[in-house]
Structures are given as structure tokens and as C-alpha cells.
């Protein structure tokens, strides 16, 4: 299992956990259940902790993606400075995709919905994968 698939699987497992716990809690609230897992202190805490981790991954992925786009290969004896194209295309593509997804999300779910965590994780995974693929294509590194 490569790094991209590993991180993607971890994020999907985290989102699955958030979805299950969130659904169970809100199902209990909506139906006035006699037993709600929100009465257990560990389950809402687990959801909150994992949600924080996913949001942190979003900011870390953005930071690493920016650093990857802004980096260059310095001029060598038989080569010119490289990396210019990587500064432009991924940033524009990700920005366009982000605007499109955000617009669609706002029209469907509203501006302040709990579903935002899924969009956050999706954009973070896109940024993370873009950064790693740039690294692989440019530096011929060992990422998968």
C-alpha cells in the first residue's frame, strides 16, 4: 500500500467514524430516544477528536502543497532552473476545482452545515495527492 492510498484510506476511515457517530447521535436527538450514545462521554469526544484531526490534515496538506509549488530546482551545469510550470498549473487547477465544489456545496447544503467536514477532507486529499504526484513526477522520488 503506497503513501497516497494509505493516507486516503485513513481519511476515509476517519470520515466513516464521524458519519456513524454523528448519525447515531443525531438520530437519538431527532427521535427522542431513551438511550443516546451522546450520554456516553467517550463517543462525542471521539467524534470531536477525529474531526479536529481531519481539519488539521486540511491545513497541513495546504501548507505542503504550497511549499511544493513554490519550490524550484536551482540551475545546474547542463540544465536550466526548473519547476516553473509546477507553480502555475496545480495552484490554478486546485483553485478552480475548489471554487466549483464550494459553490455546489453551498447551493445544496447551505453555508454552515455539518457536512463541511467531508468537503474539507476531500479538498485536503486532492491537495495532498497533487503535492505527492508533483514530487513523484518532478523529483522521481519513491512515493506511490
Partner 1 sequence: MTYLYAQPNLTSGIDQAIISTGESVPAFPIMILFFIFTVVLLSGSSAQRRRTGTADIPFWAVLAGISTTLTALVMNIGVGLLNLTTMVIVISITILCGFWFFMSKVRGEQ
Q: How far is the CB of 75 from partner 1 (least distance, A)?
A: 36
Pairwise CA distance, residues 10 & 128, whole Å: 13
Q: Specify the residue, 12 or 103, whose C-beta has the smaller distance to partner 1.
A: 12
Q: Is residue 143 part of the contact set for partner 1 (CB under 8 A)?
A: no
Q: What are the φ/ψ torsions at residue 50 (nearest 5 degrees)? A: -70, -35
Can you tell me which of 12, 93, 137, 143 binds partner 1, judged by CB under 8 A?
12
Binding track, positions 29-58, relative to partner 1; x by CB under 8 A: --xxxxxxx-xx-xx---------------
Bridge partner residues of 73 (DSSP): 82
Pairwise CA distance, residues 105 & 109, whole Å: 6
Q: Is 83 helix (H, G, I), strand (E, B) or coil?
A: coil
Q: Is residue 78 part of the contact set for partner 1 (CB under 8 A)?
A: no
Contact (CB, 8 A) for 22 and 47:
yes
Question: How many separate helices (H) and strands (E) can be counted in the chain?
Answer: 4, 0
Can you tell me which of 21, 124, 132, 134 binds partner 1, judged by CB under 8 A?
21
Taking contact as CB under 8 A, which single stretch among the options 26-34, 56-64, 92-100, 118-126 is the one that binds partner 1?
A: 26-34
Q: Is residue 27 part of the contact set for partner 1 (CB under 8 A)?
A: yes
Pairwise CA distance, residues 73 & 81, whole Å: 6
**Which residues are near partner 1 by CB under 8 A?**
1-2, 5, 9-10, 12-13, 16-17, 20-21, 24, 27-28, 31-37, 39-40, 42-43, 144
Amino acid at each position: 500500500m503506497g503513501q497516497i492510498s494509505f493516507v486516503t484510506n485513513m481519511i476515509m476511515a476517519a470520515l466513516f467514524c464521524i458519519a456513524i457517530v454523528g448519525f447515531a447521535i443525531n438520530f437519538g436527538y431527532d427521535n427522542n430516544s431513551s438511550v443516546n450514545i451522546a450520554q456516553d462521554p467517550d463517543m462525542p469526544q471521539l467524534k470531536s477528536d477525529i474531526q479536529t484531526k481531519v481539519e488539521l490534515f486540511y491545513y497541513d496538506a495546504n501548507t505542503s502543497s504550497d511549499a511544493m509549488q513554490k519550490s524550484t530546482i536551482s540551475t545546474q551545469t547542463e540544465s536550466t532552473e526548473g519547476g516553473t510550470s509546477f507553480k502555475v498549473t496545480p495552484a490554478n487547477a486546485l483553485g478552480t476545482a475548489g471554487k466549483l465544489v464550494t459553490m455546489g456545496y453551498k447551493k445544496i447544503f447551505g453555508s454552515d452545515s455539518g457536512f463541511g467536514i467531508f468537503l474539507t477532507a476531500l479538498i485536503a486529499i486532492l491537495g495532498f495527492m497533487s503535492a505527492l504526484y508533483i514530487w513523484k513526477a518532478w523529483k522521481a522520488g519513491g512515493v506511490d
